[in-house]
């Protein structure tokens, strides 16, 4: 396992916003989210959650991996 940066969708921002977060890379496009979450951010998935991911192109043409769903 390696620690990488993925992008976490934030809740209650009024528009689509993602925050860079550290996560352990597992397998099959899955990651375990590391924490803690900053007090001023409401993450879609809590620290410790295992999430599925997908590639995403952000508005500035930057491509990254975003958390899209909880996984067990």
Over residues 32-43, the pLDDT tens digits come to 999 999 999 999
For the chain, which residues make up each domain, given as ranges? 2-71
For 4-54, the pLDDT digits (tens) are 999 999 999 989 999 999 999 999 999 999 999 999 999 999 999 999 999
- Residue 66's Cβ-count burial label (10 Å; 0-12, 13-18, 19+) is middle
The per-residue pLDDT for 33 is 98
CA separation for the pair 21, 7 (Å, rounded): 6
The per-residue pLDDT for 60 is 86
């Amino acid at each position: 396992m390696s620690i990488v940066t993925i992008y976490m969708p934030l809740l209650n921002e009024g528009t689509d916003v993602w925050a860079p977060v550290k996560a352990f890379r597992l397998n099959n496009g899955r990651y375990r989210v590391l924490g803690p979450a900053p007090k001023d951010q409401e993450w879609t998935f809590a620290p410790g959650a295992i999430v599925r991911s997908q590639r995403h192109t952000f508005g500035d043409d930057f491509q990254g991996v975003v958390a899209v769903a909880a996984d067990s």
